[in-house]
């Protein structure tokens, strides 16, 4: 399948914003998400929210983002993820790296 310009849909760049709920603070979720995102070749960021959830944005190819979202559902071993709220957001063309935000 192509996007009309000859590029495969698997090469399409996607950026998502995810709010992860459950026991996800104090269990190394941010650090683990950062390592997982980098391992999948993604750019973006992750941060704790005051309500106890974790928010992140991740950008990369469709397959990379899909694999990372599978990881987000599990999280690190000590996390207990109860849900993900997912939204597509605009791709940031100049984005580099994946960071933990405070």
Annotated catalytic residues are: 30, 48
- With a CB cutoff of 8 Å and minimum separation 6, the contacts of 6 are none
Residue 13: other Cβ atoms inside 10 A: 15
Determine the Cα–Cα distance for residues 2 and 27; give it in Å rounded to an integer. 41
| Cα within 13 Å of Cα(99), Cβ side | 5
Cβ distance 85 to 17 under 8 Å? no
CA-based torsion, 6, 11, 13, 17: positive or negative: positive
């Amino acid at each position: 399948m192509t996007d009309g310009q000859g590029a495969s849909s698997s090469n399409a760049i996607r950026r998502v914003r995810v709010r992860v709920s459950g026991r996800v603070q104090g269990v190394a979720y941010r650090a683990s998400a950062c390592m997982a995102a980098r391992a999948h070749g993604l750019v973006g960021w992750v941060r704790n929210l005051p309500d106890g959830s974790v928010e992140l944005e991740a950008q990369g190819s469709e397959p990379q983002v899909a694999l990372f979202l599978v990881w987000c559902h599990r999280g690190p071993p000590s996390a207990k993820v109860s849900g993900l709220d997912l939204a597509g957001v605009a791709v940031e063309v100049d984005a580099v790296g994946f960071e933990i935000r405070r």
